[in-house]
Chains A and B, each alone.
Chain A
């Protein structure tokens, strides 16, 4: 029975990948081209993103929901940024993703967080650094492991952890800054 079950699964995977590509190819190609300004590189990125999605697609079954579209865009955007950075031979984000310099000092008990602040934080975090918002989304919204994120974004696992810590620290800064502003106004 095993081969047949897997044939069913393979066909389903192929159909789902094709469906995802057909549905969202214009969006992701636009995203890649906006960053890379190069048609061939943008094509390569979209192609690579489909391969990466194939490895995690089981966790994203509902192709109609916006979650899979968001995931596709996040992968394409991050792969495009990687290429852009390597092309420039310098990081436009310019952060040293070295674990030894980083401590995770976010603690929810020290922060007064209201749930309705989540949208404000998402907006602000994307302005600070979109890759911070992307990695928090992959980790906590899509619930991927560090290893899975590392493979999806073509970055080392250590850099995944480092970027996550920086993202959390950025969230802390945003919350504190917002609270200070509220106190000043109050």
Chain B
């Protein structure tokens, strides 16, 4: 065994040992709380504490949304530098990875990320600068848009396009279209109700999770995804109204 490997193994052993000490320390903390369970249960939590904490949680959420919005607006306004785009997308995707319990695979802006057991595989199409606003000519657009929603922005390149609709309550509808060939979607299906659907004669699926509805179906050459927190029937109506914008 060489010296470096020797040191590495000792460090691993130390880490494992201290981790086990930490585990027991945590057990001791819980045990101490258990010893005072009656006293703890009898504690009256002041209303002011609840208010403070819920306010903080709301602020955390708002802050994150605001950061994302700024980031996304910036991405739409300017063609991001190649390296920067990869960094941003990777950062976001890694964050999403942590909330997924299954093997993760998502295509974001023409970059394919696949979480293997021990590594993250990234594949990119040649034109991966999918951050510019797209012209809707030649793309599919919905003829029916649920009441109150307006087209907020578009993104895409080539045959792929994502359209964002928003209403005054800040509800959003995402409509994504991509060529069938080489397209991979990862949809949030955990604990979702899955149903088979038919949109204009083409088969697909719907996923309903809480208030969020996701529709996915494939046409002759193009696959579509619509995601929104609005009524199922409204989303189906929107999906059925999609035609190619000539």
Contact = CB atoms under 8 A, between A and B. Distances in A.
Given A1-B174, A58-B99, A74 B56 contact: no
Contact of A6 (B14, B15, B33, B64): B64
Interface string B8-43: 001001110111111111111110010010011101
Contacts of B64: 6, 10, 13
B21 A136 contact: yes
B18 A140 contact: yes
Contact of A61 (B27, B56, B98): B98
B162 A136 contact: no
A5 B99 CA distance: 10
B99 A121 contact: no
A29 to B, nearest CB: 6
Nearest to B72: A3
B52 A67 contact: no
B40 A30 contact: yes
Given A50-B56, A136-B18, A1 B106 contact: yes
Contact of B19 (A1, A30, A113, A140): A140
B220 to A, nearest CB: 23
Contacts of A5: 92, 96, 106, 108
Contact of B24 (A21, A39, A69, A122): A122
A100 interface: no
A60 B106 CA distance: 23
Interface in A41-62: 43-44, 46-47, 50-51, 54, 58-59, 61
Given A1-B162, A115-B17, A141-B19, A6 B28 contact: no
Main secondary structure of the interface of B (DSSP, over half): helix
Contacts of A2: 68, 72, 89, 92, 108-109
B24 to A, nearest CB: 4
Given A30-B40, A113-B17, A140-B15, A47 B65 contact: no
Given A14-B61, A47-B49, A139-B18, A9 B96 contact: yes
Interface residues of A, number: 66
B45 interface: yes
B25 A134 contact: yes
Interface of B: 10, 13-15, 17-30, 33, 36, 39-41, 43, 45-46, 48-49, 52-54, 56-58, 60-61, 64-65, 68-69, 72, 89, 92, 95-96, 98-99, 106-109, 162, 164, 172, 174, 176, 188, 212, 227
20 contacts: A1-B108, A2-B89, A3-B69, A4-B172, A4-B227, A5-B106, A6-B68, A6-B92, A13-B61, A21-B57, A30-B33, A54-B60, A61-B98, A115-B20, A118-B20, A125-B21, A133-B22, A133-B25, A141-B26, A142-B22
